[in-house]
Amino acid sequence: MPDVSATALPPVRRSLLSAPSRSDSVFRAVSYTAGATTVGIMLAVGLFLAVRAGNALSVSGISFLFEQRWSPETHQFGIAAVLFGTITIAVIAMCVGVPLAIGTALLLSEVVPGRMRSALVSLVDLMAAVPSVIYGLWGLFFLQENVIPVSEWISTYFGWIPFLAATDSSGHHLSEASSYTSSAFIAGIVVGLMVVPTQTSVMREAFSQAPVGEREAALALGSTRWGMIRTVVLPFGRGGIIGGTMLGLGRALGETIAVYLIISPIFTINWHVLTTGTNSVSALIALRYGEASEFGLSALMAAGLVLFIITLIVNFTASSIVARSRSGAETG
Amino acid sequence: MTVSTTVERESAESFEAEPLTDELERAMSSQRPARTSMPRADRAASGDRRKLRTATLDQRFDLLGALAASLALTTLLFGWFLPLTGIVGWVVVAFLLFIGFYALLVAIRSDRQDVKDRIMTVLLASAGIILFGALIFVVAYTLIRGREALPHLNFFTETMELAGPLDPLSMGGILHAIVGSLIQIGIALSITVPLGITTAVFLNEIGGRFARFVRTIADAMTALPSIVAGLFVYVAVIQLITHQRSGFAAAMAITVMMLPIVIRASDVVLRLVPGNLREASYALGSTRWATVWHVVLPTARSGLVTAIILGTARGIGETSPVLLTSGVTSVLNLNPFSGPMISLPLQVFDFVKSPEPNMIARGFGTAAVLLLLVLALFAVARVIGGRGPGQLTDGQRRRVAAASADDLRRMSRPSTTAVPVSPLPEETVE
């Protein structure tokens, strides 16, 4: 062993910090500026919404959440009806989308063999990129007329469930086809199809990360494939299912064009989801921004702010659940 | 199992080759013939390879039989026995009967677990078929309805300036919308690409508390509904600054939508760059900037391009932000800073609001153009992407090999007299 004291070591430790080179300091400055610009843009959006919405919110107060009518000119406005419509459409979309997404994700991660799997996975990714206006066109020109008999049938045989009923004010069952057009049900189906690809890819990713050892253990104990899925893949992918569902929910809540094309806007709460007339916050903004006065715009921004806060909560919950369910890098 | 046999074989070989000197030798020599041994490939009886994936004849019969039975019974029910009508009802009843018959047939030969397994597999497969069928149908429907307008060449070379709603499809076109879309997405890309990628580099390479804050904000922004982004630009840019709708305002709205998408996707790609490449670069004494520019970005290039193209596909199809900001026009407008400038998705929206069949046909034609554009972008992204960081194409590999051979020549030239290096060009190049 060499004698440390004998060697010519300097008495003070060498500093491990080095002065950054010029290119490094420029790089650092540019990077920080880019990060700050991004934050600046994002905060500007948030602050602008909050400040401009404050004007309308200070006039309406808490009744903004409970008032159904929308006439800012007479200071009687609120988002109860539009928010209700937004949520019914999103809930219907989830009822359509989530079973399809879970089934397809399990199919892709567990059943389909190699080559076909990668082709189908790309197809799902491609579908997530199809513009929403195209889904809207399909819903408006094809789905609408084909769904009406289904709506009629459901309302006839399941009308005893309150929200599936289709009755007029005197309690008679509606039988004309025109009573079933432009409903929340149709908009919900279209939005559901639109968000399924997003949900499927999140869920498939979570399912395919279920540990191989535990899968093989289940199979080695004599489990069938479904038994293995039920006992290993589904419990392991639960975070992915919840997270994927909520990511899709966030998109469904904010969807504008497909909903705007299909619905016929009303400003009352319509519990009968199969019958004509519903509304959504984003459709309200698209509908009213043009003719809005200064105060009307402020009211629209308040509605947009509420929508943004809801999607923000949904998305953050989703990403925290997804992040907790899998370790390391996430893909998006 | 595998491990133990491998060890045994290795030790047996080394025992043959040279005597072991430690305790292992005694253990080996005193050992009785091993109870497990490697199977000899030439002696093992080998029959036909078992096919693990294919279904047996029974299974196929169950499937086809159930299908035939359900179709027959449904036809009977709908045609003769019950007052049922409608294609949707027919499909639903046929599907339910199919599940029932299939369960019955499987149950003849198998136990409950097996029945459950097969039923669930069928249900998963049908979820997939419904989903893929519906999605492909949405795309095909647009393309088929669009075929009325697409064959007219003037559809791509004229604007709607002189064509009214009642004019035939041989007049007017969507040149102005195509040009408008390209200008708007061009402006949006020229902002989002440098800003987004620099921010993603900042998040990954510099890090720290502020970077975490930036990441949180960017994540929050992915939740921003597109219509709210449009409303923001309408109030903040159009009402306060420009006082008119313009292509630039629409590009701003698209930028607000695309920026978080590009940041997130690039962030994911940069995170996949192997840490040892960075460490090797730092260990060679390079600065942080040199590492980013010469190691991190080139490694992630294909992934970054994919991220940008997918962001472009999303941005070009966004309707709601441009609905509020770009304004509707039927005239070709090349100046993004003044006057309304329409884009493809908004043109679709504008066309189908009209009740005229010709305008609706034009709307579907425009939608088909938009869809084909998105599909093309996606295909390009697939061709470029699909390779992880550091995986090279053949051409890239040849170029890298040539570069390193070059380096070797350069480095070995002055040292031929001073230090005798022993270059093995073939091996080093590889």
Q: State pLDDT tens for residues B257-266.
A: 999 989 988 9
Residue A326 predicted with pLDDT over 80: no
Q: Are A28 and B290 inside 8 Å of each other by CB?
A: no
Distance from CA of A115 to the nearest CA of B (A): 14
Contacts of A100 in chain B (CB under 8 A): 127, 130-131
Which residue in B90, B93, B121, B320 has the most chain A C-beta atoms within 10 A of its own C-beta, making it the best mutation to test that interface? B320
Could you identify the residue written with the tokens 């459709």?
A: A283
> Token pair for residue A22?
């010029």
Q: Give CA separation, B346 vs A241, A295, B11, B40, B189, in Å.
A: 34, 27, 74, 71, 19
| pLDDT, average across residues A23-41 | 91
The per-residue pLDDT for A306 is 92
Q: How far apart are CA A91 and CA A189, in angstroms?
A: 10
Nearest CA in chain B to A292: B235
3-state secondary structure of A276: strand
List the one residue out of B244, B216, B236 whose CA is nearest residue B335.
B244
Residue B20: pLDDT band with limits 50, 70, 90: very low
Residue A331 predicted with pLDDT over 50: no
Residue B30: pLDDT band with limits 50, 70, 90: low
Q: Are B202 and A34 inside 8 Å of each other by CB?
A: yes
Percent of chain B residues past pLDDT 70, beyond the cut = 83
CB proximity B415 to A under 8 Å = no
- Is the Cβ–Cβ distance between B105 and A168 less than 8 Å? no
Distance from CA of A244 to the nearest CA of B (A): 14
Mean pLDDT of all residues belonging to chain A:
85
Residue A303 predicted with pLDDT over 80: yes
Nearest-CB residue to A104 (from B131, B259, B290)? B131
Residue B75 predicted with pLDDT over 60: yes
CB proximity B325 to A under 8 Å = no
Q: How far apart are CA A266 and CA A84, in angstroms?
A: 11
Contacts of B320 in chain A (CB under 8 A): 256-257, 260, 282, 286
Q: Pairing relation of β-strands A70-71 and A76-77? A: antiparallel
Which CATH code of 1.10.357.10, 3.40.980.10, 3.90.76.10, 1.10.3720.10 fits the domain covering A67-325?
1.10.3720.10
Q: Are A257 and B268 inside 8 Å of each other by CB?
A: no
Contacts of B323 in chain A (CB under 8 A): 256-257, 286
> Token pair for residue A222?
């004599």
Question: Over the stretch A41-74, which tens digit does the pLDDT of each residue have?
Answer: 988 998 888 998 888 888 888 888 888 888 888 8
The per-residue pLDDT for B8 is 43
Q: How far apart are CA A142 and CA B138, in angstroms?
A: 9
Nearest-CB residue to B287 (from A24, A140, A226)? A24
Q: How far apart are CA A41 and CA B349, in angstroms?
A: 28
Q: How far apart are CA B128 and CA B141, in angstroms?
A: 19
Q: Are B364 and A137 inside 8 Å of each other by CB?
A: yes
Nearest CA in chain A to B212: A35
Distance from CA of B190 to the nearest CA of A (A): 14
Contacts of B221 in chain A (CB under 8 A): 42, 45
Contacts of A289 in chain B (CB under 8 A): 231, 234, 324
Nearest CA in chain B to A255: B225
Of the listed ranges A2-16, A36-50, A147-161, B195-209, the one predicted with least confidence: A2-16
Residue B413: pLDDT band with limits 50, 70, 90: confident
Mean pLDDT of all residues belonging to chain B:
82
Of the listed ranges A156-160, B113-117, B175-179, B340-344, the one predicted with least confidence: A156-160
Residue B403 lies in a domain: no
Phi/psi of residue A276, nearest 5 degrees: -60, 140
pTM listed for this prediction: 0.81
Give A141's contacts (C-beta < 8 A, 6+ positions apart). B145, B352, B360
Q: How far apart are CA A152 and CA A178, in angstroms?
A: 11
Distance from CA of B34 to the nearest CA of A (A): 27
Contacts of A250 in chain B (CB under 8 A): 223
Higher pLDDT, A330 or B152: B152
Distance from CA of B354 to the nearest CA of A (A): 12
Q: How far apart are CA B92 and CA B74, in angstroms?
A: 10
Q: Are B124 and A48 inside 8 Å of each other by CB?
A: no
ipTM: 0.85
Residue B43 lies in a domain: no
The per-residue pLDDT for A329 is 35
Question: Over the stretch B193-238, which tens digit does the pLDDT of each residue have?
Answer: 999 999 999 999 888 899 989 988 888 888 889 999 999 999 888 8
3-state secondary structure of A70: strand
> Looking at the structure, do residues B222 and B350 belong to the same domain, yes or no?
yes
Of the listed ranges A277-291, B19-33, B133-147, B315-329, the one predicted with least confidence: B19-33
CB proximity A304 to B under 8 Å = yes
Distance from CA of B413 to the nearest CA of A (A): 30
Residue B62 lies in a domain: yes
Helices (H), B284-385: 288-291, 297-299, 301-317, 320-325, 344-352, 357-384
The per-residue pLDDT for B47 is 73
The per-residue pLDDT for A310 is 93
Q: Are A131 and B89 inside 8 Å of each other by CB?
A: no
CB proximity B257 to A under 8 Å = no
> Looking at the structure, do residues B312 and B215 belong to the same domain, yes or no?
yes
The per-residue pLDDT for B143 is 93
> How many Cα atoms sit within 13 Å of A306 on the Cβ side?
25
Q: How far apart are CA B30 and CA A273, in angstroms?
A: 83
Number of domains chain B is built from? 3
Higher pLDDT, A12 or B108: B108
Contacts of A331 in chain B (CB under 8 A): 268
Distance from CA of B357 to the nearest CA of A (A): 12
Domain boundaries, chain A: 67-325
Give B145's contacts (C-beta < 8 A, 6+ positions apart). A141, B361, B364, B368
CB proximity B332 to A under 8 Å = no
Contacts of B371 in chain A (CB under 8 A): 130-131, 134
Higher pLDDT, A212 or A8: A212
Q: Are A126 and B231 inside 8 Å of each other by CB?
A: no
Residue B256 predicted with pLDDT over 70: yes
The per-residue pLDDT for B426 is 46
Q: Are A304 and B382 inside 8 Å of each other by CB?
A: no
Could you identify the residue written with the tokens 């040292």?
A: B415
Residue A10: pLDDT band with limits 50, 70, 90: low
Higher pLDDT, B83 or A292: A292
CB proximity A102 to B under 8 Å = yes
| pLDDT, average across residues B170-174 | 84
Task: Find residues 28-57 of chain B whose CB sits inside 8 Å of chain A.
Answer: 53
> Looking at the structure, do residues B29 and B67 belong to the same domain, yes or no?
no
Contacts of A205 in chain B (CB under 8 A): none
Percent of chain A residues past pLDDT 70, beyond the cut = 94
- Is the Cβ–Cβ distance between A57 and B214 less than 8 Å? no
Residue B81 lies in a domain: yes
> Looking at the structure, do residues B221 and B311 belong to the same domain, yes or no?
yes
Residue A102 predicted with pLDDT over 80: yes
Of the listed ranges B23-37, B150-164, B387-401, B406-420, the one predicted with least confidence: B23-37
> Looking at the structure, do residues B112 and B141 belong to the same domain, yes or no?
yes
Per-residue buried b or exposed e for A269-303, using 16+ beta carbons within 10 Å of the residue's own CB: ebebbbbbbbbbbbbbbbbbbeebeeebbbbbbbb
> Looking at the structure, do residues B354 and B259 belong to the same domain, yes or no?
yes
Distance from CA of A32 to the nearest CA of B (A): 7
> Looking at the structure, do residues B111 and B229 belong to the same domain, yes or no?
no
Of the listed ranges B3-12, B54-63, B158-167, B236-245, the one predicted with least confidence: B3-12
CB proximity B389 to A under 8 Å = no
Q: Are A311 and B224 inside 8 Å of each other by CB?
A: yes
Residue B4 predicted with pLDDT over 90: no
> Looking at the structure, do residues B381 and B278 belong to the same domain, yes or no?
yes
Residue A88: pLDDT band with limits 50, 70, 90: very high
> Looking at the structure, do residues B203 and B309 belong to the same domain, yes or no?
yes
> Looking at the structure, do residues B341 and B233 belong to the same domain, yes or no?
yes
The per-residue pLDDT for B131 is 92
> Looking at the structure, do residues B249 and B345 belong to the same domain, yes or no?
yes
Q: Are A257 and B352 inside 8 Å of each other by CB?
A: no
The per-residue pLDDT for B128 is 93
Nearest-CB residue to A312 (from B121, B128, B223)? B223
Q: Give CA separation, B225 vs A125, A256, A283, B89, B264, in Å.
A: 21, 8, 11, 37, 17
| pLDDT, average across residues B322-344 | 87
Q: Are A149 and B88 inside 8 Å of each other by CB?
A: yes
Q: Give CA separation, A120 vs A104, A114, A190, B121, in Å.
A: 10, 10, 21, 17
- For chains A and B, CB pairs below 8 A equal 267
Q: Which domain holds residue B377?
A: 175-394
Q: How far apart are CA A121 and CA A208, in angstroms?
A: 12
| pLDDT, average across residues B46-63 | 75
Q: How far apart are CA B369 and CA A52, in angstroms?
A: 38
CB proximity B235 to A under 8 Å = yes
